[in-house]
A and B are shown apart, each in its own frame.
Chain A
Amino acid sequence: MNARPQQDEAEIFDDARRMTNPAERAAFLERACHGDAALRERIAQLLNFEPQAQEFFDGVVENISAANLAEISAAEAPGVDEQIGTVIGRYKLLEKIGEGGCGVVYMAEQQKPVRRRVALKIIKLGMDTKSVVARFEAERQALAMMDHPNIARALDAGATETGRPYFVMELVRGFKITEYCDQNNLPMAQRLNLFIQVCHAIQHAHQKGVIHRDIKPSNILVTLHDGVPVPKVIDFGIAKAIEEPLTELTLFTAYAQLIGTPAYMSPEQAEMSGLDIDTRSDVYSLGVLLYELLTGKTPFDSQELIKSGVDHLRRTLREKEPAVPSMMVTTMQGNELLATAEHRRSEPVKLITALSGDLDWIVMKALDKDRQRRYQTANGLAFDVQRHLTNEPVLARPPGRFYRLQKLVRRNKIIFAAGTAVALALVVGLGISTVMFFREREARKIADDAKQREIQLREAAERGRQNEMLLRQEAESREKIVQAAVLLRNNRYEEADRLVAALPPNQENLAGAFVFRTLGEWHALRGEWQPAAERFAVLLRINQPDEMYSSSMDFSMQAPVLVQLDKLADYEQLRREMMRRFADVSDPQVAERVLKNSLLVPASGEAVKTLQPIASYISVYVQGMSTAYPDKTTAWQLSALGLYYFRQGNFAEAADDCRKCLRYVGPEGPDSPRLAAANVILAMCEFNLGHREPALEKLAAGKSLIEQKFQDGLKRGNGFAGYWFDWLLARVLSQEAEAMKMQKAP
C-alpha cells in the first residue's frame, strides 16, 4: 500500500462515519472513492465494525486498576526479586550485583562442567526491545572478542526459555579502582602502575576493534590475584565497533553517549554526532581517570556538568581548560588537601611537587580538546606514564635540551659516579704495566685509551655534577613555589611574597604562574607598582600557555603598570611580545585587550601599522553589531577602536567610536573603567580637533571617575565591572590627556 491513497482512506472513513443517514453515507462513499470498488468495499466494511470497535476500546486501559499495576510492580520491584534461585541454563542465580538501564547482573553459580561463581547479565524483563537487544548483543560480541588479563572474560551466552538473551562473564570481585587506591592509601607509583594496566586493557580492546566509550572508575574493578592487585575492565555496555557495526546499533549510540558519564566524556563524544568517535575518545577518558587517581577529583565537577544542561556541558568540554592536576590539588581546602595527600602516603607540599611537571603534562596531553594532539593510542599514554616512572623524558613535555639532560642524569646518577672510579683504577694499573717493556706498546695504547676515556668520563661527571646542582636548585625553587601557593590560599601574602622574592624564574611550572600572578595583583592593588611589575615579569616569563584568553589577561596587567612606572623601554618590549603572540587572534575579547594595551603611549606609524590586522578584526566584529545600541562587548571594542584611530591621527573617527561607546552604560552603572577611558580618549580627540571646551568637559568627567576609584582603593574587579588594570589603563591615558591640556592651552 502506498501512503497517498491510505491518507485518503482514513479521511473518507472519518467523514463517512460521521454521517448518520445511510443513504447520504452511501452517496458520499460512491463519490469519494471515484469508482474504486475495492476501496469502497473496504471502507464500508470498516464502517460496519465502527460501533463495536468504539465500544471495545472504551475503557479498556482505564479499567486497568491500581491492583494490576501493584501486581506488576511487585513482581519486578527492586529488592523483591523473584528470580533469585531460579536456574537459567546451567546457572543458578544467587544474588543481584548490579543493574543498569536495561540489564541486570547477577552473581550466579555454574553447576557443570565445573562448579564456579560467574556473573550473568540478562536483559531486564520487558526491556527486550529491538534496540536494547542490539546493544546487549553488541556488548556480548565485544566481550567475546577480547582475551586480556585486565578485561573480564566472556564465558558463555544464551537465551532464556522466553527468549530473553543473557551472557555469562568472569565474576570480578573487587572495588572501584579509585576506591581501592584510597582505601589502601596507595602511593603514586602504585596508582600509576595500576593505571598502566588499564591502558593496556583498553589498547587490547582497540586492537580488537572495540571502543569502550564509558571508561570510568566504576567500570574498572581492582581484584586481588594471589595478593597482587589486578584491575579489570568490566562494562562494555556502550562499546562500539571501530570498523563496522557489530550489529545494527549505530543509529542510537549517539543517544547512548549521553547516558554515559559526563565527567568522563570527551569533547567529541559530547558533540553527539556519534559518528565520529574513535579510540582517542577512550584516551581522553583514560586521562580523566588518571586525573582522578592523582588528585581524587575529575577535571570538571560532574554535578556541575550535569546541572548546567547539555549545551553548557558541551561548551565546557569543548572550550574550558581544566586546572592542571597540581593546581587542582593546590586549590583544595586544607583538610581536603591533607586527606588527599594522606591517601597517597604523602604530604601536601610533596604531593603537589610530585604532580607538577611530568604528571601535569601527561594528564593535560591526554585531555587535549584536540584529539590530534592527544596521545594517539592508549599504549602511548601508558608508555609515557612508564617513562615518568623510570625517569625518562616524557613525550608530553615540550622538548627542551636541558630537560632531557636532567632526566639523563637523574636516571644515571650511579653510572656517572662509577665511571670516575673505573678511570682511577685504570691509571693505577698503568703504573705497574710500564715496567714490562714487551708490553710497553700495548700499555701505551691502553694508557692513551684510558686517558681519553678518563677525560670523557671526567667531563661527563662534571656535567653530571652541574646538572645535579641545577636539579637541586630547581627542586628547591619548585618546593618554594608550592609552599607559596599554599600560603596564598590562606591569604598570607607577605610571607609568600618574601618566600619567592629571590627565586630564579622556574620554567614550566604552572603553580608558579598562580603564585606570581596573585602576588603581582596583590602589590598592584596596594599601589606598589614596582614590585607588581617584577612579579608580572616573572609571570610572563614562566607562563606561556597556548590558551590566549588567560595569557592576554596577564599581558593586560603588566602593560599599564609599566607605563605607570614610566618604563617605556620595557613597555615597548612587552608590546612587541604581544604582537608576536597575538598576531592571529580570533577572539574578540582578546583582540580588544591586545589592541588597547599596545597603544597606551603614542606609537610610531610603523607600530600602529602592525596592529592593523587586529584593528580590522575588531572593526569587522563591531560592524556586525548594532553600534547605535551597543552591548557590553561591542562597547569595549569601540573604546579600543577609538584609541587605535586616535593613535593613527584619525581623530574624527576616533571621536565617533568613543561617542558610540559612551552610549552604552552597563548594569554596573556609570562607574566603569570603560566609560572613563572612552571619555579620556574622546577628550584627547577633541583637543586635537581644536574643540577645547568639550575636551575639558570630557576629561573632567573621565578624571573624576578615575580619581574617585583610586581614592576609594582599587578592587580586583571582574569581567563585568572591569578589572583594576582597566582602571589603571584609564588613568594612564588620563595623564596623557592632562599633559595635552597644558600643551594645547590657548
Chain B
Amino acid sequence: MPDHDLTLLLQSLGKDDGQASSELLPLVYEELRRLAGARMRQEMAGHTLQPTALVHEAWMRMVGESDRTWKNRAHFFAAAAECMRRILIESARRKSRLKRGGGQAKLNIDDLELAAASPDDKILLIDEAIGRLEKDDPEKARVVVMKFFGGMTNQEIGEHLGVTERTVERHWAYARACLFQIIRTEI
C-alpha cells in the first residue's frame, strides 16, 4: 500500500472533521491486516500480540515518528480504532457462527453466561451495545471505540475530540456503565 498516500492524506486533514477518520479506514485497514499476518509469521507461538500494539506499529510503519502533529496521530488512531473494531467483530462473528452451526443467531445471554462469556462473545456484545449507544450519544460511543479498540490514551482521545483529558475519562466511565447496562437489560 502506498504509504505516501496516507502521509498526504494526513497532512491534508482539516481540523475536527469526523469524516476524515472514516476516509482513512481503507488505508489503515489494509495495513493492519497485513501487519497482523506478517507479525504472526515472526512471532513465536504463545506470545500474545495485543491489538493496541498493532495499531501503534501500523502508525510507525505508515507515518513514522517524526514531525507529525498530535492532531494527525489522533486522527490516525481514531481510524485505526474503528478498523480494529471491524476486524475483531468479523473474527468473532466467524467463530461464533461456527460454534452455533451457522446462521446469525441472536445473542441471548443470561447473567451466568455473561460472567463466563468468551472474549469473542464479549466483543460481539459490546459492539452491539455500542451500536445502540451511538444512536443516543454518538460522542461517548466514539470515546469507547477509541479507548477500547484503538488503545488510545485519554490524552490522544482528547486531542482528537477537542476536549480535556478529564472529560474523556468521565465519558469513558459513564459510557462503560451505560454499555453494560444495555448489555444486561436490552440484549
Residues of A within 8 A of B (CB): 1, 6, 9-11, 13-14, 17, 45-47, 49-50, 52-54, 56-57, 60-66, 68-78, 101-102, 124-127, 129-132, 251-252, 255-256, 258-259, 262, 272, 306-307, 309-311, 313
Contacts and interface: CB of A to CB of B under 8 A. Distances in A.
B40 interface: yes
Nearest to A309: B11
Given A69-B51, A77-B37, A132-B25, A258 B5 contact: yes
Contacts of A64: 50-51, 88, 119, 123
B interface: dominant SS: helix
A66 B137 contact: no
Interface in B1-59: 4-5, 7-9, 11-13, 19-20, 22-23, 25-27, 29-30, 33-34, 36-37, 39-40, 43, 47-52, 54
Contacts of B30: 101
A68 B137 contact: no
B137 A1 contact: yes
Contact of B180 (A56, A62, A102, A132): A56
Nearest to A302: B4
A6 B19 CA distance: 24
Contacts of A73: 33-34, 36-37, 40
Q: Which range contains the number of B residues in contact with the other chain?
A: 35 or more
Given A10-B174, A53-B176, 13 more contacts: A46-B178, A50-B173, A61-B149, A62-B48, A62-B50, A64-B51, A66-B47, A77-B37, A102-B26, A131-B22, A255-B19, A259-B5, A307-B4
B173 A13 contact: yes
Contact of B174 (A13, A65, A71, A132): A13
Contact of B12 (A61, A78, A130, A258): A258
B29 to A, nearest CB: 6
A309 B5 CA distance: 10
A69 B47 CA distance: 12
B62 interface: no
B5 A129 contact: no
Nearest to A70: B40
Contacts of A49: 177, 180-181, 184
Contacts of B27: 101, 259
Contacts of A14: 169-170, 173-174
A61 B50 contact: yes
B86 interface: yes
The 9 closest A-B pairs by CB, nearest first: A73-B37, A53-B180, A66-B49, A70-B40, A101-B26, A10-B174, A69-B36, A73-B36, A14-B170
Contacts of A62: 48, 50, 52
Contact of A127 (B25, B40, B51, B91): B25
Given A46-B177, A72-B90, A255-B20, A65 B49 contact: yes
B105 to A, nearest CB: 15
Contact of B137 (A6, A63, A129): A6
25 contacts: A10-B173, A13-B170, A13-B173, A46-B174, A49-B177, A52-B184, A56-B122, A57-B148, A61-B88, A64-B50, A69-B40, A69-B49, A70-B36, A70-B40, A72-B90, A76-B33, A77-B33, A102-B26, A124-B29, A126-B86, A127-B26, A131-B22, A252-B22, A309-B11, A313-B8
A66 B39 contact: yes
A255 B9 CA distance: 7
A673 B115 CA distance: 83
A402 B119 CA distance: 82
Interface string B139-165: 010000000110100000000000000
Contacts of B39: 66, 69
A46 B140 CA distance: 15
Contacts of B40: 66, 69-70, 73-74
Contact of A53 (B5, B87, B170, B179): B179
A68 B126 CA distance: 18
Contacts of A131: 19, 22-23, 25
B171 A272 contact: no
A313 B9 CA distance: 12
Contact of A63 (B20, B119, B126): B119
Contacts of B120: 68
Nearest to A46: B177
B61 interface: no
A264 B181 CA distance: 53
Most buried by A among B20, B34, B40, B177: B177
A72 B87 contact: yes
Given A77-B33, A256-B23, A65 B126 contact: no
A131 B79 CA distance: 13
Contacts of B48: 62, 65-66
Interface string B63-97: 00000000000000000001000111011001000
Given A10-B140, A17-B173, A65-B48, A252 B23 contact: yes
Nearest to A74: B37
Contacts of B43: 66
A531 B5 CA distance: 51
B136 interface: yes
Contacts of B179: 53, 57
B5 to A, nearest CB: 6
A47 B112 CA distance: 20
Contacts of A306: 4, 8
Nearest to A11: B170
A49 B176 CA distance: 9
A129 B85 CA distance: 12
A60 B119 contact: yes
A252 B94 CA distance: 31
A135 to B, nearest CB: 10
A27 to B, nearest CB: 20
A66 B41 CA distance: 10
B119 to A, nearest CB: 4
A76 B32 CA distance: 11
A509 B32 CA distance: 54
Of listed A62, A76, A255, A307, residue having the most chain B CB within 10 A = A255
A70 to B, nearest CB: 4
Contact of B176 (A57, A259, A310, A313): A57
Nearest to A257: B12
Contacts of B170: 10-11, 13-14
Contacts of B13: 255
Contacts of A313: 8
A72 B33 contact: yes
